[in-house]
Amino acid sequence: MAKTLFSYFTIPLFLCLSWLHLVTSFPFGSGQIDYNYNYNYYDRSCPRLGMIVKYGVWAAFKNDTRIAASLLRLHFHDCFVNGCDASILLDDTIDFRGEKNAFPNRNSVRGYEVIESIKADVENACSSTVSCADILTLAARESVLLSGGPYYPLSFGRRDGLTASEKAANEQLPSPIEPLENITAKFTSKGLDMKDVAVLSGAHTIGFAQCFTFKRRLFDFKGTGKPDPTLESLALTNLQGMCPNKDASNSNLAPLDYASTYRFDNAYYVNLVNSTGLLESDQALMGDPRTAALVTAYSSNSYLFSADFASSMTKLSNLGILTGSNGQIRKKCGSVN
Ligand code: HEM
Ligand SMILES: *[C@@H]1O[C@H](CO)[C@@H](O)[C@H](O)[C@H]1NC(C)=O
Ligand SMILES: *[C@@H]1O[C@H](CO)[C@@H](O)[C@H](O)[C@H]1NC(C)=O
Ligand SMILES: *[C@@H]1O[C@H](CO)[C@@H](O)[C@H](O)[C@H]1NC(C)=O
């Protein structure tokens, strides 16, 4: 009897509740179309946008394979300071000192000309319609794809910021020689988390770093007068050859992932497991059990890394965006209208 009552009364009640859930969540919940920010935003106003950006990044990549890494980093540094609003592209003015000359960016971040040139092509096709912020976001995804990395879904309708801050860039961008806890705190303050630190650091599967960013690991680690004990000995010898212990070597380049420098794969994590990560902040991911578990998992499962990288990139690409009537559509990416 009790069983019959259960099936007669609880099943219809359950169906009612799930139906209620459906009708309430469809029109007002996640199924809602945000007319200011969505997947199809430029379908009518600039239908060739995707092709123009794809061609622009491809042409730059054909001339300079490293540009894929540089555009991905440019996007990260944009989104991490003032949101994904193309603030990093703004030159200094009499009103503000921008992000370009902040310590982590000056003589380091590359790719400004590529974005400015794609923007000019986009203006020719559909003027005053597409933001520099959306172009940079798309160019970063194209760069990952061209390097063999995963596709990830993006919405559009970001607008361009009106200002930039050198001070904010100096304070907020992560440093390769600060502890993992500090880097994690910077990510958390942006709405990202420790997993995103471990996943997005996987971007270091492509590109290069200048010797000064990791040199203390090679000769005088934290004032010990000795190399970093967490650096494998053969890698140490190779890197000491590329970065001799004198200032003249400071801007020499070393690959962030020596195993497959231009290929977007999971070799970065294999390197970390083998103690051959380049930056202190890379190898530090093995020094905390929470991130070490992720590193180990990604080192043996490239599909898991691809899937997690894709979802963290979608998150990164949505940070602090301006939509609707906020900000503007710049004519040129280097200055406000
Ligand atoms: C987790 C904290 C991070 C730190 C401390 C860090 C630090 C660095 C440093 C020091 C360099 C070398 C710059 C130079 O020598 O001029 C570099 C390069 C690079 N970073 Fe990061 N990074 C971090 C996270 C990220 C993230 C989240 C991304 C993208 C999603 C990224 C993408 C890149 C790329 C692709 C390069 C190579 C750029 C090129 O070759 O032009 N990094 N990073
Ligand atoms: C090709 O790449 C180099 C950097 O490696 C850059 O200086 C040059 O301007 C690029 N040329 C074109 C046509 O984009
Ligand atoms: C890490 O963060 C703490 C707390 O904000 C700060 O006092 C410390 O100087 C930071 N360490 C480094 C190396 O930046
Ligand atoms: C890296 O580590 C894996 C096992 O974790 C090992 O099979 C491989 O030989 C190592 N590669 C190098 C270059 O040391």
CA 219/CA 176 separation, integer angstroms: 16
| Secondary structure, 3-state, 248-310 | HHCCCEEECCCCCCCCCCCHHHHHHHCCCCCCHHHHHHHCCHHHHHHHHHHHHCHHHHHHHHH
Percent residues over pLDDT 70 in the chain: 91
Ligand 3: residue of 172, 175, 182, 188 to mutate (most ligand atoms within 8 A of CB) is: 182
Ligand nearest to the CA of 264: 1
Q: What angle do CA 299, 152, 195 make, to 5 degrees?
A: 45
In this structure, what token pair is assigned to residue 268? 């970065």
pLDDT > 90? residue 28: no
| pLDDT tens, position by position, 206-235 | 999 999 999 999 999 999 999 999 999 999
Closest ligand 2 atom to Cα of 59: 14
Distance between terminal CA atoms of the chain?
Answer: 76
pLDDT of residue 203: 99
| pLDDT tens, position by position, 120-161 | 999 999 999 999 999 999 999 999 999 999 999 999 999 999
Ligand 3: residue of 173, 177, 178 to mutate (most ligand atoms within 8 A of CB) is: 178
Closest ligand 4 atom to Cα of 273: 5
Strand partners, 212: none
17 or 173: which leads in pLDDT: 173
Domain architecture of the chain: domains with CATH: 19-173 (1.10.520.10), 180-313 (1.10.420.10)
Cα 151 to Cα 200, 307, 311, distances in angstroms:
14, 9, 10
Q: Is 245 in the pocket of ligand 3 (CB under 6 A)?
A: no
Q: Is 276 in the pocket of ligand 1 (CB under 6 A)?
A: no
Phi, psi of 221 (to 5 degrees): -80, 115
Closest ligand 1 atom to Cα of 253: 15
Give the catalytic positions in this structure: 77
29 or 272: which leads in pLDDT: 272
